[in-house]
């Protein structure tokens, strides 16, 4: 039985249970939690996160994969305290999101790779807490020069450590295909790659193609529909059900891309976001899974989405 690193130390992958594949606890920007903690009301945010995740745990969610990287204000000690006091497993990430530090733009691929490897094998921020996954991001502008450096560094870190890769994409422009091309050039086994935010797209050919190439499909923006031109949660779920019924359910995972505190948005937008989804991290359990059953998806297929598939992805 393989182990997976959480912020409270390694656990067996069999202990993951019901897993949300793409979430955040507190997200901001690089340095903010430590240098300007009052900006995110750090103490208040910790307590709110504990309260929220205690409820989430009590309602049957066992594990969240927190894909908050350094440039999203990752605070490893915050995550440790929240996990300890809420009882939920939190898997944290190394890697880089869209706010790629300018000093990385002209750096060598291997120099950045070594940073990711250290956080996977030794620990993060002078702790013994190790990353369990590598996060990278490319958005609507595609794979930029600096974005390519990050992708290739992640690929090389993956191959050196075995840690899986999870990506942020802009699915309407099929950015996942660009990421896959680079990973293949670097020699990565696509069974170790998860292409995220894919349910922003209604193009089932694109979605099936990701799985057919060998990667995992992240249908992990729920409720969704906040970005112009992207589908609402019901349409997303209809597409998800059709993929499962067409035999693709064994390579799909679900998440929300939710956060207790998302300081990259204004306070007004954060309040609007929470008002639009009072279920928070429980939206999938409360809305999506019952809807899938209405659409003919079996309990076994739902178990695959939420338990078996994350276990397989993280165990490879």
Is 124 a residue whose pLDDT tops 90? yes
The predicted structure's pLDDT at residue 151: 98
Reported as a single tens digit per residue, the pLDDT across 90-123 is 999 999 999 999 999 999 999 999 999 999 999 9
The predicted structure's pLDDT at residue 265: 87
Strands 19-23 and 26-27: unpaired
Q: Which CATH number fits domain 3-315: 3.10.20.740, 3.20.20.140, 3.40.50.150, 3.40.50.280?
A: 3.20.20.140
Reported as a single tens digit per residue, the pLDDT across 221-272 is 999 877 888 999 999 999 999 999 999 999 999 999 999 999 988 889 888 8
What is the arithmetic mean of pLDDT over 28-34? 95
d(CA 293, CA 305): 13
E-strand ranges in 150-233 read: 165-168, 193-195, 216-219
Kindly list the distances between the CA atom of residue 54 and the CA atoms of 23, 26, 84, 92, 167, in Å, as whole numbers in the listed order: 16, 16, 10, 18, 27
Q: Report the sign of the C-alpha dihedral through residues 207, 208, 213, 217, in that order.
A: positive
Q: Is the pTM of the predicted complex or chain greater than 0.85?
A: yes
DSSP states of 245-262 as a string?
Answer: IIIIGGGEEE-----SEE
Q: Which two tokens stand for residue 6?
A: 């959480």
Reported as a single tens digit per residue, the pLDDT across 266-304 is 889 888 889 989 999 999 999 999 999 999 999 999 999
Q: Which helix (H) or strand (E) holds 274?
A: helix 267-276
Mean pLDDT check: name the lowest of 24-28, 48-52, 57-61, 268-272. Answer: 268-272
Q: Which two tokens stand for residue 103?
A: 């000093």
């Amino acid at each position: 039985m393989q182990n997976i690193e959480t912020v409270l130390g390694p656990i067996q992958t069999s202990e993951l249970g019901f897993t949300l594949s793409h979430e955040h606890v507190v997200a901001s920007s690089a340095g903010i939690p430590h240098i300007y903690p009052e900006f995110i009301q750090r103490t208040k945010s910790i307590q709110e996160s504990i309260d929220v995740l205690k409820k989430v745990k009590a309602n049957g969610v066992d594990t969240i994969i927190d894909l908050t990287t350094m440039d999203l204000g990752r605070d490893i000690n915050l995550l440790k305290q929240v996990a300890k006091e809420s009882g939920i497993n939190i898997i944290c990430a190394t890697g880089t999101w869209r706010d790629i530090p300018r000093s990385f733009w002209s750096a060598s691929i291997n120099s950045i790779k070594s940073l990711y490897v250290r956080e996977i094998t030794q620990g993060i921020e002078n702790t013994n807490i190790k990353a369990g996954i590598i996060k990278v991001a490319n958005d609507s502008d595609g794979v930029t020069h600096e974005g390519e450096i990050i992708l290739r560094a992640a690929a090389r870190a993956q191959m050196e450590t075995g840690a899986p890769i999870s990506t942020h994409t802009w699915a309407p422009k099929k950015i996942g295909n660009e990421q896959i091309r680079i990973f293949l050039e670097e020699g990565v086994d696509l069974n170790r790659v998860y292409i995220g935010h894919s349910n922003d797209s209604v193009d089932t050919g694109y979605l099936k193609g990701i799985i057919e190439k060998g990667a995992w499909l992240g249908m992990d923006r729920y409720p969704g529909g906040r970005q112009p031109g992207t589908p609402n949660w019901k349409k997303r779920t209809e597409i998800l059900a059709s993929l499962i019924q067409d035999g693709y359910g064994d390579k799909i995972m679900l998440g929300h891309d939710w956060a207790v505190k998302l300081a990259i948005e204004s306070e007004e937008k954060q309040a609007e976001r929470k008002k639009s989804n009072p279920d928070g991290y429980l939206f999938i359990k409360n809305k999506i899974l019952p809807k899938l059953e209405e659409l003919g998806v079996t309990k076994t297929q739902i178990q695959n989405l939420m338990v078996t598939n994350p276990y397989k992805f993280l165990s490879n």
